[in-house]
C-alpha cells in the first residue's frame, strides 16, 4: 500500500469555537464537499444544541450557519445525516430523537421520535435512507422505518445487549445493523423475513470468547468495501474484523465476522472514536487528547497471520482535552474533523510530505 512508505504530516486547518460545553460528536453531510458543493457538517454538544458548519467556498474557512436549539432539553449525544443529505437525525439524553429537514439552508424539526426509556446515545441511517436505527442506556436498539410525509414507524425493538448500547452503525452496502455496548460486545443484527414480530434477529455476537474486547466498546467503522470493520474500546485496543463480502451480498445476507487482528499498545486511555477513510486510513480519537492514524502493512509477513497495521502518525495534544469523535470528510481532500471535551472542533488535513 502506498501509505506504508509515505511520509505524512497533520496540518491544523481551522479551530471552530461556538459550543459552550463538550462536543460529543460530529457528522459530515455526505452530499457535500464534492462537485463544487461547499462541505457541510453538523456537531452536537452537552450544551443541548446542534451546530451546522459550512465552508464558505471550496478551500475557504468553515462558519457556523445555524444553531439548532430549544428542541432537545438535555445533552445531544449523536447526529447523523440521511444519505441524501436532506435530513439530519439527532439523539439526545432527553430520550428523544429529532429529525431535521434542510429547507434551503434552514433547518426545521419535522419529527420527534419517542420510545426510549432514557438517554439516546447513537443514531444511524441505512445506506438507502429507508431505515433509522437508534440505541441507548435502556439496553435496546430501535429500528424506525421512514415513511412518506416525515413519518417514522417503529419496526423493531432489539433487546440483545445486557447493558447500555453505545453506538449503532449500518453496514455500508447491506441492511445489516451493528451495535456495540458497555457489555463489551458487538452484535450483528439482520432483517429476517420470517413474518414474526421479531423482524430483526441477532445473527452474531462478537464478545470476549470470540477474541473481542474486554471493556466497553465505544464505536465501530467499516472500510469502504464493507468487508472489514474496526472497533475501539475502553480496553485501549482497536480490533479489526473481517467477513466474506460475496457471501454477505448473496442469499440470506448473512456471513460471519471473524477477528483478524488487535492493534494494542498504542493508546494510553479510552478510545472513544474510530473512523476508516475511503483510502484505507484508520483514524482514532482518545481520552489521552491524541489523534492517531493507522494503515494496513503486510509487506513483511504477508497474510499468513492475517493483516497487520502500523501507526502512520500520532498527533499528541490534538485537543486540550479528550477527543470524542473523529470523522473523515466525504470530499476529495484528505480532511478530518475532530470534536473534543474542550468545546472545540478542529479541521485537519493529512498531507503527504515530499521527500
Partner 1 sequence: MVSGLINPNPVVYEKKERRVRGASSNADEYAVEPIDQQEVFDHIRDIKDPEYPYSLEELKVVAEDAIEVDDQHSYVRITFTPTVEHCSMAAIIGLCLRVKLIRSLPSRYKVDIRVAPGSHSTEAAVNKQLNDKERVAAALENPNLVDMVDECLAPTYG
Task: Return residues touching partner 1 (CB under 8 A).
Answer: 22, 46, 74-75, 77, 93, 118-119, 121, 137, 164, 166, 182, 215-216, 234, 269, 287-288, 320-322, 342
User: Least separation, in Å, of the C-beta of 93 and partner 1?
Assistant: 5
Alpha carbon distance 102, 1 (integer Å): 39
Alpha carbon distance 326, 335 (integer Å): 10
Nearer to partner 1, 126 or 140 (CB): 140
User: Least separation, in Å, of the C-beta of 3 and partner 1?
Assistant: 31
User: Least separation, in Å, of the C-beta of 78 and partner 1?
Assistant: 11
Sheet of 258-263: strand order equals: 217-222, 228-233, 238-242, 258-263
Please say whether the beta carbons of 226 and 242 come within 8 A: no
User: Least separation, in Å, of the C-beta of 74 and partner 1?
Assistant: 5
Listed in sequence order, the residues at least 6 apart from 279 whose beta carbon sits closer than 8 Å to its beta carbon are 3, 334
Nearer to partner 1, 40 or 98 (CB): 98
What's the count of helices (H) and strands (E) in the chain, helices before strands? Answer: 1, 28
User: Least separation, in Å, of the C-beta of 137 and partner 1?
Assistant: 7
Listed in sequence order, the residues at least 6 apart from 345 whose beta carbon sits closer than 8 Å to its beta carbon are 15, 16, 19, 23, 26, 43, 53, 337, 338, 339
User: Least separation, in Å, of the C-beta of 240 and partner 1?
Assistant: 24
User: Least separation, in Å, of the C-beta of 288 and partner 1?
Assistant: 8
Nearer to partner 1, 205 or 215 (CB): 215
Question: Could you tell me the CA-to-CA distances from 271 to 34, 114, 144, 289 in Å, in that order?
Answer: 30, 30, 29, 10
CB atoms < 10 A from the CB of 85, how many?
Answer: 17
How far is C-alpha 42 from the chain's CA centre?
Answer: 13
How far is C-alpha 197 from the chain's CA centre?
Answer: 29
Give me the residues paired with residue 176 across strands: 190
Cell of 184: 463489551
Nearer to partner 1, 92 or 188 (CB): 92
User: Least separation, in Å, of the C-beta of 166 and partner 1?
Assistant: 8
Alpha carbon distance 294, 136 (integer Å): 29
Q: Which of 264, 245, 240 is closest to 256 using CA atoms?
A: 245
Amino acid at each position: 500500500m502506498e501509505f506504508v512508505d509515505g511520509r505524512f504530516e497533520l496540518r491544523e486547518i481551522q479551530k471552530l469555537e461556538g459550543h459552550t460545553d463538550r462536543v460529543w460528536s460530529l457528522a459530515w453531510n455526505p452530499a457535500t464537499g464534492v462537485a463544487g458543493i461547499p462541505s457541510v457538517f453538523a456537531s452536537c454538544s452537552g450544551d443541548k444544541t446542534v451546530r451546522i458548519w459550512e465552508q464558505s467556498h471550496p478551500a475557504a474557512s468553515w462558519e457556523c450557519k445555524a444553531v439548532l436549539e430549544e428542541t432537545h432539553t438535555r445533552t445531544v449525544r449523536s447526529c447523523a445525516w440521511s444519505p441524501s443529505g436532506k435530513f439530519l437525525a439527532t439523539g439526545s439524553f432527553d430520550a428523544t430523537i429529532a429529525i431535521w429537514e434542510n429547507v434551503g439552508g434552514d433547518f426545521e424539526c419535522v419529527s420527534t421520535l419517542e420510545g426510549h426509556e432514557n438517554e439516546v446515545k447513537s443514531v444511524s441511517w441505512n445506506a438507502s435512507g429507508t431505515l433509522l436505527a437508534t440505541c441507548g442506556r435502556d439496553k435496546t436498539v430501535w429500528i424506525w422505518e421512514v415513511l412518506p410525509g416525515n413519518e417514522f414507524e417503529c419496526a423493531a425493538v432489539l433487546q440483545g445487549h445486557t447493558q447500555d448500547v453505545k453506538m449503532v452503525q449500518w453496514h455500508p452496502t447491506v441492511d445489516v445493523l451493528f451495535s456495540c455496548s458497555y457489555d463489551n460486545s458487538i452484535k450483528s443484527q439482520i432483517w429476517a423475513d420470517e413474518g414474526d414480530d421479531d423482524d430483526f434477529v441477532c445473527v452474531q455476537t462478537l464478545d470476549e470468547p470470540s477474541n473481542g474486547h474486554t471493556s466497553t466498546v465505544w464505536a465501530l467503522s467499516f472500510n469502504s468495501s464493507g468487508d472489514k470493520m474496526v472497533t475501539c474500546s475502553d480496553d485501549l485496543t482497536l480490533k479489526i474484523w473481517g467477513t466474506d463480502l460475496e457471501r454477505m451480498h448473496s442469499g440470506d445476507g448473512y456471513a460471519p465476522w471473524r477477528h483478524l487482528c488487535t492493534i494494542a499498545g498504542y493508546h494510553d486511555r479510552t478510545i472513544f472514536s474510530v473512523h476508516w477513510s475511503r483510502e484505507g486510513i484508520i483514524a482514532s480519537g482518545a481520552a489521552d487528547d491524541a489523534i492517531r492514524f493507522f494503515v494496513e502493512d503486510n509487506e513483511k509477513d504477508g497474510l499468513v497471520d492475517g493483516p497487520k497495521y502500523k501507526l502512520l502518525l500520532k498527533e499528541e495534544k490534538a485537543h486540550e482535552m479528550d477527543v470524542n469523535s473523529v470523522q473523515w470528510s466525504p470530499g476529495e481532500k484528505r480532511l478530518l474533523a475532530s470534536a473534543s471535551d474542550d468545546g472545540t472542533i478542529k479541521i485537519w488535513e493529512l498531507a503527504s510530505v515530499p521527500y
